[in-house]
């Protein structure tokens, strides 16, 4: 087997090759680590062709122009204050207050393994899945020793990057900036066109809005300084060649495996070239590094596609499914759940929950999730967070009685927590006011009438995990929804000395990771779903602990079309928490057909958010049919490749996407006719993701599943039973397209099952 990482000692070039890409690093004058190339896979050749006609300034031969060299060199991980006017990746202050950081090459190692990062989420892989390059750099004046890690996942076309920073000197150092990756690259694609920037922005109930804009000169990007990733910006950055589409053009994608403050930045300089960087946001950040200590940056993942946005999407989906998500539910179907929040809010008791569960079970739903309001004296949002003991006035007999009754009827049981929060009106806060993140002597800024617990402290984490463990051990609980409904403010930790207060935000995130890791070790079969006012903490770091994340509190299917399109561009559909809710929708007031709500929720984990006991018999029958659709298609949706055909966000009329099996033998195509148009009985759709030379049957998915003969598509009469089926080759469906009928009315949807025809004797029909 060929290696993914090689070293050309004569030319001082390190190559990192995936299945379709090449990343190249050069060692200049034996001193500086430079970025040479990242893009499509290149044959073995001399990378010095880049400088064949004009040798750049040499750091050794022309020291009188050292600043010019530093300001024009394409660094792989730039330092600070040595002549480079662009923003550096690392800044460290020594005991004299000096921040000059000059990193020189010391050596490198190549291994066929990957180590996990202490205390942080990490991509993983066994031998054959991943190779790792470690490059050592050192500042000769301070004892600062930096190791760059590049882990190559060749089959996924992804490179994971991170940094370890060591203090090998005799005096303490203070890290003021420590990014996880940096890359200097040309600002124009192979045809000489400038790149565009793609990001995803939003707000509560409006997450994951796609934005593509030209790159101007100076610095641009996305960031967060509220203590978590937040719903306003994804930590992702995409660079798209001008005119790039879903299926053509160059795309660079970078995402950050971290759930705290981040900065994802592109800096465009006078030449048009770019410096791309990603890491912990330096604002308010500092970290004291005593002699002998190590600081670990979070990991960033990056990919390149010359097959448009869709290629990037597939790389990230495969990477996250295979090498980030862990645990029992990594590759398995999730139970269909019903959550009582929008059904009851705080007004429920055991009888109401069991009534919901019984009706849900009769419809094929598999789990009841009890949301906020079951603990302490919690009857509204103003009290009891932190008091994780059961309110037996609401729930006589406690959780054991409730879970036992659910088990008798064949239902699993799930529960909601908000472990990082504390209410001022709570037993916990009255006993330990110093456990909250507040500034002594100043009035705290409340949000939702709650404060944030200082989980950077070990004693606070011990209390939280002991409280949760006691609850989960008291009954048979299969699922936890971990919520977090405000950002951090009034930054001060009673346990940190003044000179270390800049460590609080990062220590907080490490504390959250520690809590969730301890929870999963104690309950390895638990299905954990993260949530933060919807998608305000939807990032790759959280996927290391929970295989799914609540995508948005907005469950309106109309809004979810756009939200889930944005999320699915980066994350597998199996990660997207998606439910069918009641209409008029509680967030928007919009009414969308029940069938459409089910079709949209299928492109996610699938569940229900409503009071099923008040539904009509007709609506309950629709739930039974939706449950059958879930069981029929979830393996395909969970494991297949996602293809975006049309975007309602772009055309404002309709939406179309498909999920194809890895072997391209079948696809589930979803058509959403959002706005009805007079005299528009059909839409012309080019279907991507199928094998060009295979013959396919396209059949509208009806309420009842196809019988086994039809599903096998063996050419039998049963396989031809549908009155609305079309036969065509994959190349025809992609290049010529197909005219698919629209349903009359707004917000109508249709599912089409596209399956390979095994009997080559069948003729192609129009």
| Residues annotated as catalytic (active site), given as ranges | 483, 553
732 by Cβ neighbours in 10 Å (0-12 / 13-18 / 19+) ranks as: middle
210-214, Cβ contacts within 8 angstroms, sequence gap of 24 or more = 210/565, 210/566, 210/569, 210/649, 212/240
User: Parallel, antiparallel, or unpaired for β 451-452 and 421-422?
Assistant: antiparallel
Contacts of 143 (CB under 8 A, 6+ apart): 167, 168, 169, 170, 171, 173, 291
- CA dihedral (290, 293, 298, 303) in degrees, to 10, reads 120
Q: Where are the alpha helices (DSSP H) in 640-760?
A: 648-651, 708-712, 730-735
CA proximity to 89, closest of 273, 277, 298: 277
In angstroms, the CA 756 to CA 279 distance is 45
User: Parallel, antiparallel, or unpaired for β 209-214 and 195-201?
Assistant: antiparallel
550 by DSSP, 3-state: which?
strand
Distances from the Cα of 141 to the Cα of 93, 100, 171, angstroms: 12, 9, 12
φ and ψ of 78, to 5 deg: -70, 145
Question: Quick one: CA dihedral 543, 549, 551, 552, positive or negative?
Answer: negative
Q: What is the secondary structure of 559-619 as a DSSP string?
A: HHHHHHHHHHHHS-GGGEE--EE-SS-TTT-----HHHHHHHHHTSS-EEES-GGGS-HHH
In angstroms, the CA 340 to CA 611 distance is 7
User: Parallel, antiparallel, or unpaired for β 158-167 and 5-8?
Assistant: unpaired
Tell which phi-psi region holds residue 657, choosing left (phi > 0), alpha (psi between -120 and 50) or beta: beta
CA proximity to 722, closest of 695, 702, 737, 743: 702
In angstroms, the CA 104 to CA 139 distance is 6
DSSP lists the bridge partners of residue 450 as: 447
689 by DSSP, 3-state: which?
coil
In angstroms, the CA 220 to CA 267 distance is 6
Terminal-to-terminal C-alpha distance of the chain: 46
Tokens of residue 338, six digits: 């019903």
**Residues 570/234, Cβ–Cβ less than 8 Å:** yes
**Residues 41/177, Cβ–Cβ less than 8 Å:** no
In angstroms, the CA 251 to CA 39 distance is 9
Number of residues that make up the chain = 766
In angstroms, the CA 246 to CA 734 distance is 13
Contacts of 473 (CB under 8 A, 6+ apart): none
In angstroms, the CA 223 to CA 565 distance is 21
User: Parallel, antiparallel, or unpaired for β 479-482 and 527-530?
Assistant: parallel
User: How many CB atoms are closer than 10 A to CB 319?
Assistant: 25
Tokens of residue 275, six digits: 């410096």
> Residue 725: in which H helix or E strand, if any?
strand 725-729
Tokens of residue 416, six digits: 């909601």
């Amino acid at each position: 087997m060929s290696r993914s990482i090689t070293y050309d000692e004569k030319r001082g070039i390190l190559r990192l090759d995936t299945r379709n890409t090449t990343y190249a690093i050069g060692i200049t004058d034996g001193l500086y680590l430079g970025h040479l190339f990242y893009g499509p896979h290149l044959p073995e050749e001399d990378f010095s062709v880049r400088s064949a006609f004009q040798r750049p300034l040499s750091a050794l031969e022309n020291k009188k122009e050292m600043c010019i060299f530093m300001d024009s060199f394409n660094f792989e991980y730039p330092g600070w204050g040595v002549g480079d006017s662009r923003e550096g990746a690392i800044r460290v202050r020594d005991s004299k207050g000096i921040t000059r950081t000059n990193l020189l090459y010391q050596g490198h190692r190549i291994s066929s393994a990957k180590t996990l990062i202490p205390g942080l989420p990490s991509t993983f892989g066994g031998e054959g899945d991943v190779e790792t390059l470690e490059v050592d750099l050192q500042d000769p004046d301070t004892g600062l020793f930096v190791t760059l890690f590049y882990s190559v996942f060749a089959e996924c076309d992804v490179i994971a990057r991170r940094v370890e920073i060591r203090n090998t000197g005799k005096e303490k150092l203070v890290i003021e900036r420590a990014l996880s990756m940096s890359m200097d690259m040309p600002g124009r694609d192979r045809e000489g066109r400038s790149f565009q920037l793609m990001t995803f922005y939003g707000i509560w109930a409006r997450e994951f809005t796609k934005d593509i804009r030209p790159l101007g000169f100076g610095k641009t990007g996305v960031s967060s300084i509220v203590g978590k990733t937040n719903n306003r910006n994804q930590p992702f950055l995409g660079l798209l060649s001008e005119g790039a589409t879903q299926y053509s053009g160059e795309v660079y994608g970078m995402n950050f495996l971290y759930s705290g403050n981040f900065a994802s930045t592109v800096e465009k300089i006078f030449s048009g070239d770019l410096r791309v960087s990603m890491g912990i946001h330096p604002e308010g950040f500092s970290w004291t590094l005593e002699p002998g200590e190590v600081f670990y940056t979070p990991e960033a993942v990056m990919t390149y596609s010359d097959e448009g946005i869709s290629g990037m999407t597939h790389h990230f989906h495969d990477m996250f499914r295979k090498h980030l998500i862990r645990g029992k539910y990594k590759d398995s179907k999730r139970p269909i759940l019903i959550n009582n929040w929008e059904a009851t809010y705080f007004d429920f008791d055991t009888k109401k929950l069991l009534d919901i569960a019984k009706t849900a079970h009769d419809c094929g739903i598999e789990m009841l999730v009890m949301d906020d309001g079951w603990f302490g004296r919690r009857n509204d949002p103003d009290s009891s967070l932190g008091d994780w003991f059961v309110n037996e006035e609401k729930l006589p007999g406690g959780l054991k009685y409730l879970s036992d009754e659910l088990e008798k009827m064949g239902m699993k049981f799930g529960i909601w927590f908000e472990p990082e929060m504390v209410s001022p009106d709570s037993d916990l806060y009255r006993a330990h006011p110093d456990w909250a993140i507040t500034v002594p002597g100043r009035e705290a800024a409340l949000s939702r009438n709650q404060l944030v617990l200082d989980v950077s402290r070990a004693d606070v984490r011990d209390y939280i995990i002991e409280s949760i463990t006691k609850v989960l051990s008291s009954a048979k609980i299969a699922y936890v929804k971990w919520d977090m409904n405000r950002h951090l403010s009034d930054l001060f930790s009673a346990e940190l000395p003044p000179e270390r207060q800049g460590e609080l935000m990062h220590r907080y995130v490490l504390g959250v990771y520690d809590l969730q890791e301890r929870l999963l070790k104690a309950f390895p079969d638990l299905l954990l779903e993260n949530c933060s006012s919807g998608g305000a903490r939807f990032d790759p770091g959280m996927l290391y602990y929970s295989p799914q994340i609540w995508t948005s509190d907005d469950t309106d299917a109309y809004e979810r079309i756009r939200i889930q399109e944005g999320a699915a561009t980066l994350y597998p559909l199996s990660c997207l928490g998606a439910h069918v809710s009641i209409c008029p929708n509680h967030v928007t007031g919009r009414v969308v057909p029940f069938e459409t709500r089910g079709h949209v929720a299928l492109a996610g984990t699938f569940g229900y958010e409503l009071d099923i006991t008040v539904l009509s018999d007709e609506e309950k029958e629709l739930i039974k049919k939706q449950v059958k659709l879930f069981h029929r298609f979830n393996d395909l949706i969970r494991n297949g490749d996602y293809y975006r055909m049309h975007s309602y966000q772009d055309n404002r009329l309709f939406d179309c996407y498909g999920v194809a099996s890895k072997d391209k033998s079948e696809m589930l195509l979803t058509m959403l006719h959002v706005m009805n148009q007079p005299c528009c009985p059909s839409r012309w759709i080019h279907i991507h993701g199928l094998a060009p030379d295979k013959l396919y049957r396209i059949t509208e998915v009806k309420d009842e599943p196809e019988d086994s003969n039809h599903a096998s598509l063996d050419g039998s009469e049963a396989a031809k039973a549908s009155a609305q089926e079309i036969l065509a080759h994959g190349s025809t469906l992609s290049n010529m397209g197909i005219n698919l009928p629209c349903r009359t009315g707004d917000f109508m949807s249709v599912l089409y099952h596209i399956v390979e025809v095994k009997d080559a004797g069948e003729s192609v029909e129009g």
